């Protein structure tokens, strides 16, 4: 319960990360979600990823919309910045915050209703603009918070208590690829081993990192035929790769057979060891990724893993050529160069 504070005390033997923080330092309030909700597993994966990366909590800004999924930022990183925006409007608020202060790590947390229904336009524009962020959609194919209406990712033909969905679903991963996202992945809340390194790699990515995480709702849309249920994903999960994520200061200890593992260096020097489960799958080919996803979806498979990565990604600040100093730290002198400078600029257009 959010009003019950977690005890501050913890076992003195809890492991500490490079900053001397324990896992507890990355937790938040006690969750009010239903027992078994996939969203809680994603919060746990986020806590583990940030603990292992030794991220300073005050450097993270969590932004969300409205929904059970959008409530979750209260349940992790209690010492970080947080902003719960309006339904479907998280991306524009995140974009504004990112433009004002490029020094923070931006974590957008949303749901399938929040992102693919009311917020579809906002989702599209923040991706195509290249905002540097990790965007997690906790995808259960339903409006959980408002009691089970179909969202825009619900399967065609799926049933609620009162209706059958006749609309075609939107696949956020395919959409993110079309829109130019430079890091695209799909995870499953029931597979933390796959999800934690995906989150870590996304956090290190300098650009829009889209993570669609299938996160079953145990109250609604939970039939075995639903492509967002535990049963379905466990039976049809086609993982194309698995990752080990290595931060720049860490040596690589993992042994791997050449040909089956690819070492990918990101802009910040972090390395992704990509263990290929499907050798034919190339996560650097946007067009091939789209074709592959469509073929597998037709065959009833749910593809998970790192689906696309652009190693040379650039973010919105690079596109706009903004200064390296965060804009909110510029002084009046920097922002108002004086009438002579303005006259010179105006003269260029005459």
Interacting residue ranges for ligand TPP, rule: CB under 6 A: 66-69, 87, 111-114, 118, 138, 140, 142-146, 151
Longest dimension (CA), the chain: 70
Among 217, 233, 239, 246, binds ligand SF4 (CB under 6 A): 217
CB closer to ligand SF4, 154 vs 203: 154
**Residue number with CB closer to ligand SF4 (18 or 163):** 163
Closest CA to 72 of 124, 104, 114, 103: 114
Contact status: 64 vs Mg ion (CB under 5 A):
no
Task: Enumerate the β-bridge partners of residue 108.
Answer: 63, 135
In 3D, which of 159, 135, 110, 106 has the Cα closest to residue 209? 135
Closest Cα partner for 45 from 61, 23, 66? 23
Contact range with ligand SF4 by CB under 6 A, out of 32-40, 181-189, 309-317, 335-343: 32-40
Q: By C-alpha distance, which of 142, 302, 282 is closest to 221? A: 142
State which of residues 112, 171, 212, 315 lies at the interface with Mg ion (CB under 5 A): 112
How far is it, in rounded angstroms, from Cα 292 to Cα 241? Answer: 14
Binding ligand SF4 (rule: CB under 6 A), the pick from 39, 81, 228, 242 is: 39
Q: Does 315 bind Mg ion (CB under 5 A)?
A: no
C-alpha dihedral, 59 to 271 to 76 to 235, nearest 10°:
160
Rounded to a whole number of angstroms, the minimum distance from the CB of residue 50 to ligand SF4 is 22
The answer to whether 228 contacts ligand SF4 (rule: CB under 6 A) is no
The partner in contact with residue 33, picked from ligand TPP, Mg ion, ligand SF4, none with C-beta cut-offs of 5 to 8 angstroms by kind, is ligand SF4
Binding region for Mg ion (CB under 5 A) out of 108-116, 193-201, 239-247, 255-263: 108-116
Total site size for ligand SF4, rule CB under 6 A: 12
Smallest gap, in angstroms, from Cβ of residue 144 to ligand TPP?
Answer: 3
Nearest residue to 196 (alpha-carbon basis) of 323, 53, 315: 53
Please state the closest distance from residue 39 (CB atom) to Mg ion, in A.
9
The two structure tokens encoding residue 112: 């399938």
Between 162 and 280, whose beta carbon lies closer to ligand SF4?
162
Minimum gap (Å) between residue 110 Cβ and ligand TPP: 6
Does 38 contact Mg ion by CB under 5 A?
A: no
Q: Which of 22, 84, 149, 219 binds ligand SF4 (CB under 6 A)?
A: 219
Give the integer Cα–Cα distance in Å for 110 and 211: 10
CA distance 193 to 172: 22
Q: Which residue minimizes CB distance to ligand SF4?
A: 144
Residue (176 or 272) nearer to Mg ion, CB: 176
| Secondary structure (H, E, C), 149-188 | EECCCCCCCCECCCCECCCCCCCHHHHHHHHCCCEEEEEE
The footprint of Mg ion (CB under 5 A) covers 111-113, 140
């Amino acid at each position: 319960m959010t009003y019950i504070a977690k005890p501050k005390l913890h076992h003195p033997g809890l492991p500490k990360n490079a900053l001397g923080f324990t896992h507890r330092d990355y937790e938040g309030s006690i969750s009010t979600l239903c027992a078994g909700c996939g969203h809680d597993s994603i919060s746990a994966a986020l806590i583990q990823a940030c603990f292992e990366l030794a991220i300073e909590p005050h450097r993270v800004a969590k932004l969300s919309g409205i929904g059970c999924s959008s409530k979750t930022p209260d349940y992790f990183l209690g010492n970080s910045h947080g902003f719960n925006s309006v339904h479907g409007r998280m991306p524009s608020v995140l974009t504004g915050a990112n433009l004002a202060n490029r020094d923070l790590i931006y974590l957008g947390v949303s749901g399938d209703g929040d992102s693919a229904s009311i917020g579809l336009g906002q989702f599209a524009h923040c991706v195509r603009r290249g905002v540097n962020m990790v965007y997690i959609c906790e995808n259960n194919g339903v409006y959980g918070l408002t009691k089970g209406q179909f969202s825009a990712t619900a399967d065609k033909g799926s049933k609620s208590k009162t209706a059958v969905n006749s609309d075609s679903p939107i696949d956020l991963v395919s959409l993110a690829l079309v829109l130019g996202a430079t890091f695209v992945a799909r995870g499953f809340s029931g597979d933390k081993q796959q999800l934690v390194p995906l989150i870590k790699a996304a956090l290190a990515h300098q650009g829009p990192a889209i993570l669609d995480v299938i996160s079953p709702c145990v109250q609604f849309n939970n039939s075995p035929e639903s492509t967002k249920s535990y049963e379905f994903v466990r039976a049809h999960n086609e993982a194309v790769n698995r990752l080990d994520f290595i931060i720049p200061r860490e040596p690589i200890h993992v042994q791997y057979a050449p040909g089956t593992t690819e070492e990918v260096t990101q802009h910040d020097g972090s390395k992704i060891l990509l263990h290929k489960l499907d050798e034919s799958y190339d996560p650097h080919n946007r067009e091939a990724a789209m074709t592959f996803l469509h073929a597998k979806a037709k065959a009833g498979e749910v593809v998970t893993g790192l689906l696309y990565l652009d190693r040379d990604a650039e973010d919105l600040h690079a596109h706009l050529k903004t200064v390296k100093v965060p804009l909110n730290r510029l002084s009046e002198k920097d922002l108002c160069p004086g009438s002579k400078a303005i006259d010179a600029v105006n003269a260029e257009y005459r």
